[in-house]
Structure formats: C-alpha cells, structure tokens
A = this chain, B = another copy of it.
C-alpha cells in the first residue's frame, strides 16, 4: 500500500515554492531523493544549451500586498500569488498603479491563476477574481516581493539502472511547478515511486532504465544537449509522465513516430483498461515529449496522463490541489507502469523451430490429450505464438493480432522456449 507514502510525500512537497531553478526546486528534489536516490546534474546559469541559455537562479523569501497595514495577499499562504521569476519590489502604490501588475481569471472567480515570466523581467501578483473585487480603489498599498536572482544552477535528477543490454527505457517528469497537484506534483511522485518499486521488483533487468526529473522545457533541452546523442542511439522506449494524479481514466499520447516500442507497449497497456483516451503526438500542446520528439532527435517518446494539461478546468490554477487527486489511482498507475515494464522486459521476437506445419504438441505435454469442444487459453496462446514466431512479430504484435493479454503470451512463450519449440531472437 504505497498510496499512503505517496500522500505523505505529496504533503511535504506541497508548500514548497518550486520554479525552474532555486531553493524550492532543490528542496523538492531532495525530498524525492529520500524515496529513490537521484544523482544531481547541474547546468550553470549562462551555459548555452542548443539555442537556449540557462537562466539565472531565482529565489523568493516573502511577498505580500498590504492595505492599511493588513496583509490582504500573502505569498506565504499561497505561492501562486507571485508570478514565477518576479523581480523584487518594495513600494507604496495606488490602486491604479498596482492594477497593471495584478492578474486574475474572471471566469473562475475562486481560482488564483499560475503565471511565470522566466525570460522577461517583470513582477506581478496573481489573485482570485473574488480577492481582486475586494481591493479598494482609494488609498495606498504596500507591495513587497522579496526575490533575488543570482548566477546559480539548473539541476536535473537522474537515476540510471544498468541492465544486461545497453538499450534503454526512460521515464521523465518535471518538478518546476509551485503548489499545484495534478500538474505537477503527480508526475515526479509517480516517477519516483516507480523507480523505487522497479528496483525492488526487477533485480537484474534486461534493459537499462533511466529515470529523470527536471524543470520543464529548459530542463529537457539541457538534458538533451548533454545526453541527446546517447538517447538517439540507445533509447528504445521513453515515457513522459504528466498530469497523472487525478481521478480520471488514462490518456495515452503516442510518440511522433506513432509505431515505436513505446507506442506498442503503451497502447497494449491501454487495451487492458476499461476507459482510455489515445491521442496522437501534438507538438504544440504538451510537455517535455515535445523536446524529445523534436525532429532532430525524434525519440520514441510517448506520454501517460490522466486528466491532461489544458483539458481540465482546474489546470494552471490554485484549484489544481489535493482535493482533485487520487492517491489510490497514483498507486495503481505505479503498478500499471511496473506491468508495462514487465511486458517490455519480456517482449521478444521468436523463431519457430518447427515452422512447417504445427509441431507435435502432445508428446511435449503441451496439448490436452482428450479433444474437447473448448480450447483453453494457453493452447490458444501456443498456436498464436508458434504461427507468428517468424522473426517479424514480437509479443506486442501478437497480442494486438490475437487479443490475448501479454501476461498470457509471456508465460506461454517461456514454456515454448523451454520446450525448444521457439528460439528468442536478439
């Protein structure tokens, strides 16, 4: 029952003010590293990463709006109140002057919106529309943002588990959002518990596994600038985790190529679910898979979500909080992804040794001796695997053609291999 641990970790992470750099991000990564140890990879401010430059590190201690000596907006109560990467300010302002730096959502009057301005210096406050309406038009406001910029670093957490093969499977998520739940404490939480459970359950894996937590966009671009070539050579399936913590069913987004191992494994997992939504790669609306699937890399990177970014009403506001989360579903997601890993670990192409006619199963005790009207599932699996062990169909392909589950095909393939009826291809 890891759902209680996930919830506990969620509660620890929640109040921290994360951004693409800074203390909140570092503290958050440290909390996750206690569950699964991530190596920190640093990129210094000013470093060129492809077309981008690592920005200065941003930190914030305090921020508020006071009216007549009373804090009416307090960053310490909700870190969404300050635009990410806001410059410092300490000033007395009239309502008229303050107004230009205040943001709210008229259509969602209780929600504090989430805004950032990473690459252009500005400052500002985000309020709910209800808070905004209460502001008096007369009098003077005391405004403070106690933030600072410095030459610092951008940090990526990485955990690589070597397998027998140098071929790699990768999971990626991002940790740069302040206090929001589905988008995006869910992704790094699922990824971290997945990494931890993976190590418990897969002691000597076939493939090499790469678990990566980073700040969105600039983080994955930095990572690619360093490891893109390696990934281009070795990655056979990558999965972006984002918005994967609420109560909804899964949304699976294919890779740009649509037919990679990541797509086959992901769609296979979706076919085991009752309700799912399978959508195609979209370079405009998405997360780090947009970088992984940029045409110069075009990595086999698919994405798992539940209520996906831009498609749920609480998205990018203070309403995306614990109340919409399901820690039970997050545990289930960890388990489903462990199954996905199990399927990938056990997916092979085979050759049928007796490929002219069916082999004689009875003498190998692979066939009921007494003919019956009903075929049992294992027999059906045997025939599907034998017929498609032609070096051109892997178990995912056979699962798709036959409708049989991977678990059943994997079990049967092992029996057939033991019986020397099929041989695994490299």
Contacts and interface: CB of A to CB of B under 8 A. Distances in A.
Q: Which 8 A-B pairs have the closest CB atoms?
A: A296-B355, A283-B387, A296-B356, A120-B369, A284-B383, A221-B357, A295-B390, A119-B362
Contacts of A179: none
Contacts of A362: 118-120
B358 A284 contact: no
Contacts of A217: 358
A154 to B, nearest CB: 14
A384 B284 contact: yes
Contacts of A354: 50-51
Interface residues of A, number: 69
A421 to B, nearest CB: 9
A284 B357 contact: no
Given A113-B373, A284-B402, A373-B113, A387 B122 contact: no
Interface stretch (A63-71, A285-293, A337-345): A285-293
B294 A50 contact: no
Nearest to A290: B358
A324 interface: no
The secondary-structure label for the interface of chain A is loop
A256 interface: yes
A200 interface: no
A298 B387 CA distance: 9
B52 A294 contact: no
Contacts of A228: 356
A220 interface: yes
Interface string A266-293: 0000000000000000111100001101
A315 interface: yes
Given A224-B357, A387-B283, A369 B117 contact: yes
Interface in A93-118: 105, 113-118
A388 B283 contact: yes
A375 interface: yes
A295 B421 CA distance: 13
Given A221-B357, A294-B355, 18 more contacts: A50-B359, A115-B370, A116-B370, A120-B369, A217-B358, A221-B358, A224-B357, A282-B402, A283-B384, A283-B387, A284-B384, A284-B402, A285-B375, A291-B357, A294-B357, A295-B390, A297-B356, A316-B373
A358 B388 CA distance: 41
A228 B357 CA distance: 10
Contacts of A201: none
Contacts of A116: 370-371
A290 B387 contact: yes
A380 interface: yes
Nearest to A380: B284
Nearest to A316: B373
A115 B354 CA distance: 27
Interface in A346-390: 352, 354-360, 362-363, 369-373, 375, 379-384, 386-390
A114 to B, nearest CB: 8
A323 interface: no
